[in-house]
Structure formats: C-alpha cells, structure tokens
Amino acid sequence: ITMHQKPDGDAMGSTLGLYHVLQQLGHEVVVISPTNWTAFLNWMPGCNTVIDYEKFTDAANELINNAAWIFCLDFNTLNRTKKMEPVLLAAKAERILIDHHREPQTEVFTYGISDTGKSSTAEMVYDFITAAGHADKINSDVAECIYTGVMTDSGSFRFPSTSANVHRLVAFLKDKGLE
C-alpha cells in the first residue's frame, strides 16, 4: 500500500487502516511512503512498520517489484509519489486506486475509484471495508487510523464534505471502541 509524498493524516490513516484489515484477512501487507512524514503521525498504530522509500529505496523497490497488488491511496496521479513513480509504472502488480482528488490518472490503474464527493480517502477505505463485508475487522487500531484521516481531511468536521455519512462513520467507530 502506498500514498502521496509527505503524507498527512488522511494518507497515513487510510493506508494504515487498510493495512490492519488486510493483515487480519491473512494477507502479507507492507506500507511504503514515498518520503518521510511528520513526527506527529508516529503515534498511529502500525506507523513504526511503514517503509520510507527515500531511506530504504532498494528494499522498497524489491517489495514493489514482487507485489501482486499495489493499493494507491490518497493521490490521483503517480507523480505525487515523487521518485517512486517510475518503479510503480514498471511494476507488474495490479494498481488499485482509492482516492478523493480530481482528475485521476485512470490509465495507470487496473481498478479503483475516485470520488471527489467524499471527505477523505479514509472515508472511502471505511466504505470499501464495510462494502466488502469486513466491518467486523474494524478494531480500535483500524478505527484510530480511519478517524485520523477523516478528521484531518474534513477540517475537524468543518468542511462542506462532512456529510451525515461521515458522522455515522464516526459513530460506528465510537461503538467499536474509538477513544
């Protein structure tokens, strides 16, 4: 799973939320960030496992080249992954887009969705998890990650993209133990 360079709360939250669910489903999962990230995200469950592409380029390239699937979260074009772009383009893996930005580079993704009406990519990951029938996999780690993404990209629930569905999502996460 990868995200845009200099990840924010939504990029890190959506990738780590999906990471935790896929792990529970028995998949071998790695999160690779194109660059470093701000230290205030280090508290997030699983952040200590994220690979910084710029620091560990060779290892990250090997993981990308051997991947079956590459989930591309919270970016609409591969150039937002900085130096990872050529490696992602050359990868034999199927690239899957989950994003909420305008004008996605659809020709480079095998599958995916881009919905500008969503508050965040984290909201879309939540929708993906629940639509796939895996709401039971949303534990406190997943809830914290998804909440972080939704909260940061919705401007602490002030932006117009904060729909009633966003509030229902947060209520569901609270019911799952989110503090």
As beta bridge partners, residue 97 has 72, 112
pLDDT at 74: 98
Please give the share of the chain, as a percent, with pLDDT higher than 90.
98
pLDDT digits (tens, 9 = 90+) for 77-92: 999 999 999 999 999 9
Mean pLDDT on 18-30? 98
User: Alpha-carbon distance 49 to 22, whole Å?
Assistant: 14
pLDDT digits (tens, 9 = 90+) for 109-130: 999 999 999 999 999 999 999 9
Task: Count CA atoms closer than 13 A to 120's CA, side-chain side.
Answer: 34
User: Alpha-carbon distance 163 to 160, whole Å?
Assistant: 7
Please give the share of the chain, as a percent, with pLDDT higher than 70.
100
Mean pLDDT on 42-51? 98
Mean pLDDT on 88-113? 96
pLDDT at 3: 98
The answer to pTM > 0.95 is yes
